[in-house]
């Protein structure tokens, strides 16, 4: 490209992310994100949580409401996410056929194991759950699409961490505080690295009540056509049904379905080997 010529649609300040940011838009998006995470909050509660003036917050809420992004419950004077936000968020899932291809495999995995099946990817250093097929049991794991979870205390998260290159893993560990959620959470760097080595060796990750007491999870990585790990599939359920004796059989089923999804995305066994040789 000739010097000085810009890509179409890119302003001069394209690479200057600091000066290109719009503060008022950031404030509005903070409000939208807070309402989506909490729900059922009043104007004063939202303004107080975000340290913003009620007047400014109300204008933001009203603007989003006019576009269907937010809506107010008149009875309780509380704010909630609107249908337009769902439609826009759903565009993320349409970027790839991965969710669509995973659904039948997840339904099969739920039927085989009797437990909830999940699909997740890494997003901003956390696990973002994209899809879930719930078990019919009364007691079950629940991760609605859009839920975020710490990677180091999650089956899918640990499967993704185990596949990271050394540099990426170092950066993750440098910026992540290993907070204890239960007495089984892995909070020591050395212990986590040992756990990731075991995951690489056996091909699946195991969350043993590390995020939520009484819940276990078995996960396996999903590869794309280039041999890169792009997602994880898991099965989650209560310890009463997912005993330690069940982990072996369940892990085989999870790995098999993860392999099917990998192949549907174009993965071949030689993909990873080719990439390793090129590196």
pTM for this entry: 0.68
Residue spans of the domains in the chain: they are 17-87, 96-278
Average of per-residue pLDDT values in the chain: 87
pLDDT of residue 233: 97
Q: Is residue 278 scored above 60 in pLDDT?
A: no
pLDDT of residue 7: 47
Sheet strands side by side (includes 41-42): 41-42, 78-81, 70-73
Question: Are 231 and 97 a contacting pair, CB within 8 Å?
Answer: no
pLDDT of residue 2: 47
Average pLDDT for 203-229? 94
Q: Is residue 232 scored above 70 in pLDDT?
A: yes
Q: Hey, what CATH topology would domain 17-87 get?
A: Arc Repressor Mutant, subunit A (1.10.10)
Q: Which two tokens stand for residue 220?
A: 């396996």
Architecture, CATH, for domain 96-278: 2-Layer Sandwich (3.30)
Q: How far is CA 136 from CA 110, 111, 133, 140, in A?
A: 9, 10, 10, 8
pLDDT of residue 115: 94
Q: Is residue 13 scored above 50 in pLDDT?
A: no
- Which tens digit of pLDDT belongs to each residue from 163-178? 999 999 999 999 999 9
Total Cβ atoms within 10 A of residue 104: 14
Q: How far is CA 244 from CA 118, 234, 251, in A?
A: 20, 16, 11
Q: Is residue 276 scored above 60 in pLDDT?
A: no
Helices and strands counted in the chain (H then E):
11, 9
pLDDT of residue 83: 86
């Amino acid at each position: 490209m000739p010097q000085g010529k810009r890509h179409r649609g890119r302003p001069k300040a394209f690479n200057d992310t600091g000066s290109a940011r719009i503060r008022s838009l950031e404030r509005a998006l903070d409000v939208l994100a807070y309402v989506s995470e909490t729900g059922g909050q009043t104007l004063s509660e939202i303004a107080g949580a975000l340290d913003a003036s009620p007047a400014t917050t109300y204008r933001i809420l009203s603007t989003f409401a006019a576009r269907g992004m937010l809506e107010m419950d008149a009875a309780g004077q509380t704010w909630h996410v609107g249908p337009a936000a769902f439609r826009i968020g759903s565009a993320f899932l349409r970027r790839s056929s991965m969710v669509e291809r995973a659904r039948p495999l997840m339904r099969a995995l739920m039927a085989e194991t009797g437990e909830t099946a999940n699909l997740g990817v890494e997003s901003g250093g956390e696990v973002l759950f994209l899809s879930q097929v719930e078990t019919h049991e009364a007691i079950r794991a629940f991760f609605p699409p859009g839920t975020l979870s710490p990677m180091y205390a999650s089956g899918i998260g640990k499967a993704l961490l185990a596949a990271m290159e050394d540099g990426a893993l170092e950066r993750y560990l440098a910026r992540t505080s290993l907070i204890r959620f239960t007495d089984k959470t892995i909070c020591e760097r050395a212990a986590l690295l040992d756990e990731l080595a075991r995951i690489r060796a056996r091909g699946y990750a195991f969350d043993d009540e590390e995020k939520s007491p009484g819940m276990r999870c078995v996960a396996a990585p999903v590869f794309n056509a280039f041999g890169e790990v792009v997602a994880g599939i898991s099965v989650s359920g209560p310890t009463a049904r997912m005993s330690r004796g069940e982990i072996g059989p369940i892990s085989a089923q999870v790995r098999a379905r993860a392999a099917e999804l990998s192949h549907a995305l174009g993965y071949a066994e030689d993909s990873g080997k080719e990439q390793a040789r090129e590196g």
